[in-house]
Structure formats: C-alpha cells, structure tokens
Chain A
Amino acid sequence: MAKVLVFIDTPGPALKKSSLELLTIARSLGEPAVAFNGELHDDVAAALGEYGAQALYRPSANDLDDYLVGPKASYLAAAVQSSGATIVLAENSAEGKEIAARLGIKLGAGVITDVVAVDPDGTAHKSVLAGSYMTTARATTPVAVLTVKANSITPEPATTGTAPQAATIEVPETANAASARITARNEKTASGRPELSEARIVVAGGRGVDGDFGPLEDLADALGAAIGASRAATDAGWIGHDAQIGQTGKTVSPQLYISAGISGAIQQKAGMQTAKVIVAVNKDAESPVFEIADFGIVGDLFRVLPQATEEIKKRKADR
C-alpha cells in the first residue's frame, strides 16, 4: 500500500480542521504517516491516532521555525526518504505551497497546488484561474507532492485507531545555511473569530463600509463567521491587510460569503467566487457583484446588516 506523508507544521494544542482533512484524504490513498514540527501535545497525539496515523516523525532540530521555508523542506525530504512515502500532503497556505515547492526540487517530485480532491489512483482535482476551470492533474514522478485547500472534504476519524510513537528524523546540518532567518515575530492580536481561510462563513466589507466594520462584526459574531475585506478597505487602513480577499489577498471557499459594500471587481472575485453560496448587499443595482450573487440585496448595508443580525439573534433566542 502506498505510504502517504502528511506534513503538519506546529500543530499547537489542537489539530486544525484542515489537518484532519489531510489525514482523511491520506487514508483514502494508502497508509498515513505524519511529519510534524514543533511540540506534540498529548491531545494532538491522540487525535493523530484517531485519524489513523501509522507513523509519526519529528525533526531533530527544534529551530526550524526560526527560518523561512528552506529548512522545513530539508526536514520533509529526509522524512520522505525514511518513511518511503510516495505521496506528500501539505496545507495550501502560502508557506505550505513554498515548502512543497522546495521539497519538489529536492526530491525531483511533481508538485500540484490548490487541490480540492484526490482520486485513489493519485489523480488530483483542482480549481484554477480563480475557480473558472476545474482540472485534473498528475505528477509523472515517483513521488507526488500535493497541497490541499481547506474545506475540501469532511474529516472522518479512522474505524480503527492507532497509537504511533514519534521517530526522530535527522535534519541535515546544512539545512539552515543559505536560509532567511526570522529575527522578530509579532503575533497579531487574536480576534476570537475563525481563521479566514478555514471559516465556514465569511462576512466581507469594502469601500461601502466607510470606515465602520461594526455592523459586519456584529453579523459575523451572530453567524460565527470570519471577517474579510476588499483591497479598497484594507488600503484605507480600516482593517488589517491580512483580511484582504482576492488576487493579491487570500482565496476563500466558504459555505457562505456575505459581501457588503463591495463592487465585485475581477481581482476581488478571484478570491471568493468558489464560495458555495454568495450573498451581496450593495446600494448600486448595477454593481458587478450581483452577477455572481445567489441572493442579492440592493440596499444600504447600514440598514440591512443590523436588521439581519437582530433577526438571527431573535431566532436563536426563540429556539
């Protein structure tokens, strides 16, 4: 059976949903193994067992996080060699893709990004050109490296759990040479809301919010949603750049995307048009966003959103 290596970078105190998705896909392809970096909490080890990890690997070095990309790729290359894996799965974040990219060169392995599904024979399905095409692709090399988008499948634990011990992978001493070093790290303040690229629901605002994200935050909190923004809103400094959705921001594929005060420029659409359901609130009936909205409201967001928030709260209280 094919060995499938899942890379989980700094799992933290609990596994992210996207990591559970990777493990679920790995089981459908063969025998899953996990290479992690950073600390392994007991709860995480238990979850990895529930999801059927047959082997665990940790790096001999504990400073991989102090460098950008290169050393992590060196570690993974060594882990692939030790485990005999023929498929590597990693998350589709910016850093995940870069690690996959360098790993591919180290191993002479084809890399496929933006994967949304993998057939048992290794054929990857992906959405390209901002979601306007679906393609299937294969690596033609002995090892394949795939980065999988969050929210691609529903995670499912294995029918029989495991309790693997972590083996240490020697990271080559040269791994940190010719690497950029991270000299300072400023954690951004946590909002308490879900992470944008993983969220089931995203409420996004544009120039139309005119500096006041309050009504969007209230609606997001009523729905358990993450907050996103157009570039006009991030450029104006009303919200951090990391909230930007689109060509030069994040790509999201949530179940529901609520767009408020955003015109729907092509660069904005590039980041959100694969959302399952799109709702748009805009006071201009001619706005291009209405061309892709499943439900559009021509109206003032400062009236429509608070009314919707109240209605949701009322319904929740009545339940």
Chain B
Amino acid sequence: MEGCCYTVEETLKIIVLVKHVPDAQFDRHLSGGDKTTDRSESILSELDEYALEAALQLIEARGGEAAGNKVIALSMGPAGAVNAVKKSLQIGATEGVHLSDDALAGSDAAATSLALAAAIRHLGADAPVDLVLTGMASTEGETSLVPAQLAERLGLPQVTFASSLELDGGKLTARRDGDSHADTVEATLPALVSVTDQINDPRYPNFKGIMAAKKKSITTLTLADIGVDPGLVGLAGSWTAVETAEARPPRTAGTIITDEGDAGIKLVEFLAAQKLL
C-alpha cells in the first residue's frame, strides 16, 4: 500500500481494528510473569464501536455491502478476542478476521503494530485497503501507541483523534481537537484514522444483525499465514520490558461531612491545613 500505484476505487475496503478489553466495570489486574493485563473477562472495547460505526456510515453512503464495499473487523489476541470480532459482525461488519498465535502473547506496542501491519498487508493482497480505522486509545497500558506505529510501519498518513470524518473521492477531511486549538486535517487515501467518542453515536446490534452475523465467516490467521517470524513478536520481540508491577493501595475514603451551613468554611480550613491555599 506504500504510495506509488494506488488508484481510488469506486468501492471502499475498510479495516476496523477491534480490541477485546477487560470491561472497565470489572476489576482489572495485571497477571502472569509478563505483567500484562488479564483478559479473562473481556468485551469489545466501547471505544472501538465508534470506529466501526464510522466505517459502516462510510460504506452505507456508498451503497453498502451490496455495492461491493467491505468493512473487515480485525482483532489480534488470544481465543477471547474472537468475541470482539463476533460482536462487530453483529453490529454490521461484513467480514471478520482473528489474528491469533501463541507467539503473540506479551507483545508490546512495537510488536503488536508489526503483526497488525503484516495482517493488513495480507488482507490487502487481493484488493488494496483504502482505510484503516481504530478507536481512540484505551486507558490501558501502551496501546495508545499502536495506531501511530501502525501508520509508520504501513507508510500511511495518520489522522488521529478525528471527531468528524468526511470522504470525497480519494480525499479525506477530518476535525482533530487539540488542547489549545481545533484543526482541520486533510489526507489522501489510503490512510489510517483513529476516531474519538465525539464522532457519532454507535448503533447496537439488532435481531436482524445478530441473525445475519451467524452466516458471516470469521477467518483465523496465524503468524505463518501472514509471514511474520515469531521471534519478532511476543515478549522476545518486544522493545520494552515491564520489570515490576505493584498494585497501588486503593484510595480510601477520608473525612466525609454533611453540610450544616458552614461546609464551605470547613472546606477552606481543610485546604489550609493541607497547605493547598
């Protein structure tokens, strides 16, 4: 997909990266020798639903699946990751791909982006991929690095933190909100876009979608399928190593008072005692 010979297709082929993450409602813990996040209780990341919705809206505006457009949900991870793909198919993705290999366990962002880049190239072998869409960073670990590293590896322009997205022919326009300014950003396809939770209101899977998903196929890929040397990923292939992990003692409740008309003054007394004034 690097540069030279890309021509804008009439139809869109979009890959949406979906993660399965520990549900924020459950307690999250780090486990095992590699101090990675325990994924035993996990779901499709809420933040990825915005990316999937953005992809579905783009293809629906171009005649949808019937017109030859594709939205491929791609998830990398152990067996449980397939649930994120299944849920994506129920919501409306046209195809699902699960990249799964024991050698991937413990991959850091660099190793993850290496495997994902290879998988995306593999999926683009028959017809080029126009757009790679991801959700915004989740709060866990170093995952916020993956979209930028993936763009670097694929040689794609990155349009990250998009709160709006428009596509006109091969030109993409997005709004990106920064701390002190809001930018309008333009790029040409193919591109990588990460979207924020401001971009749309994701749909829920409905009965029809759930039934239709049963007929959709999920392709499982291994590292051998995508031509990646197992030594380049996983703990061995990672460029960072977590050495120690210590649970912070949970915050405990301090003094709680009920306002009896003077709580504002008590608040200031507390701040003064803490030397915070």
Please encode chain A, from 223 to 245, with 1 for each CB lying within 8 Å of some chain B CB and 0 for all others.
10000000000000000011000
User: Does B251 reach chain A (CB closer than 8 Å)?
Assistant: yes
User: Does B274 reach chain A (CB closer than 8 Å)?
Assistant: yes
Interface size of A in residues (CB-CB distance below 8 Å): 93
User: Does B212 reach chain A (CB closer than 8 Å)?
Assistant: no
One of B144, B148, B239 near A140 (C-beta < 8 A)? B239
CA distance A101 to B153 in the complex (A): 11
CA distance A138 to B244 in the complex (A): 10
One of B37, B139, B253 near A293 (C-beta < 8 A)? B253
Q: A98-B158, A299-B259 are in contact. Are A111 and B248 (CB under 8 A)?
A: no
User: Does A168 reach chain B (CB closer than 8 Å)?
Assistant: no
> What distance in Å separates the Cβ of A36 from its nearest Cβ neighbour in chain B?
18
Q: Are A180 and B191 neighbours in the complex by a CB distance under 8 Å? A: yes
Q: Are A241 and B177 neighbours in the complex by a CB distance under 8 Å? A: yes
One of B140, B151, B257, B268 near A308 (C-beta < 8 A)? B268
User: Does A105 reach chain B (CB closer than 8 Å)?
Assistant: yes
A-contacting residues, B70-119, CB 8 Å: 108-110, 113
Q: Are A248 and B142 neighbours in the complex by a CB distance under 8 Å? A: no
B-contacting residues, A282-317, CB 8 Å: 285, 290-300, 303-312, 315
Q: A97-B144, A182-B183, A184-B184 are in contact. Are A136 and B176 (CB under 8 A)?
A: no
Contacts of A303 in B (CB 8 A): 259, 263-264
Q: Are A279 and B251 neighbours in the complex by a CB distance under 8 Å? A: no
> What distance in Å separates the Cβ of A311 from its nearest Cβ neighbour in chain B?
4
Contacts of A105 in B (CB 8 A): 110, 113, 149, 152-153
Q: Are A299 and B258 neighbours in the complex by a CB distance under 8 Å? A: yes
Q: A110-B239, A178-B155, A296-B255 are in contact. Are A95 and B246 (CB under 8 A)?
A: no
B-contacting residues, A234-264, CB 8 Å: 241-242, 247-248, 251, 255-256
CA distance A300 to B146 in the complex (A): 43
Q: A69-B160, A183-B186 are in contact. Are A304 and B255 (CB under 8 A)?
A: no
CA distance A267 to B180 in the complex (A): 23
Q: Are B157 and A141 neighbours in the complex by a CB distance under 8 Å? A: no
Q: Which secondary structure characterizes the binding site on chain B?
A: mixed
* Chain A residue, CB-CB nearest to B162: A180
Q: A248-B136, A248-B196, A273-B251 are in contact. Are A136 and B109 (CB under 8 A)?
A: no
One of B148, B241, B258, B277 near A98 (C-beta < 8 A)? B148
User: Does A60 reach chain B (CB closer than 8 Å)?
Assistant: no
A-contacting residues, B221-268, CB 8 Å: 238-248, 250-251, 253-259, 262-268
One of B110, B181, B243, B247 near A123 (C-beta < 8 A)? B243
* Chain B residue, CB-CB nearest to A181: B186
Contacts of A139 in B (CB 8 A): 239-240
Q: Which of B151, B153, B240, B245 has the most CB of A within 10 A?
A: B240
> What distance in Å separates the Cβ of A113 from its nearest Cβ neighbour in chain B?
6
CA distance A73 to B158 in the complex (A): 12
CA distance A162 to B192 in the complex (A): 43
Q: Are A292 and B253 neighbours in the complex by a CB distance under 8 Å? A: yes
User: Does B185 reach chain A (CB closer than 8 Å)?
Assistant: yes
User: Does A137 reach chain B (CB closer than 8 Å)?
Assistant: yes
CA distance A46 to B246 in the complex (A): 41
Stretch at the interface among A20-28, A49-57, A125-133, A152-160: A125-133
One of B47, B108, B138, B257 near A110 (C-beta < 8 A)? B108
List 24 A-B residue pairs with CB atoms under 8 Å apart, sorted by A's residue number.
A98-B147, A102-B149, A111-B110, A113-B145, A132-B28, A132-B250, A137-B240, A140-B241, A181-B185, A183-B184, A196-B179, A201-B276, A241-B177, A242-B177, A248-B196, A294-B254, A296-B257, A297-B256, A299-B258, A299-B259, A307-B263, A308-B264, A308-B267, A312-B277
List B residues at the A interface (Cβ < 8 Å). 2-3, 24-25, 28, 30, 35, 37, 47, 108-110, 113, 136, 138-142, 144-149, 151-153, 155-161, 163, 173-174, 176-187, 191, 196-198, 238-248, 250-251, 253-259, 262-268, 270-272, 274, 276-277
10 cross-chain pairs, A with B, having the tightest CB-CB distances, nearest first:
A307-B264, A299-B259, A110-B239, A101-B148, A294-B254, A308-B264, A180-B187, A110-B240, A184-B184, A296-B256
Instruction: For the A-B complex with A68-B158, A94-B144, A136-B242 known, give 18 more contacts whose Cβ atoms are closer than 8 Å.
Output: A106-B152, A132-B247, A133-B246, A135-B246, A137-B243, A138-B243, A178-B2, A182-B183, A183-B184, A183-B185, A185-B182, A247-B139, A248-B196, A256-B271, A291-B253, A295-B254, A295-B257, A297-B267
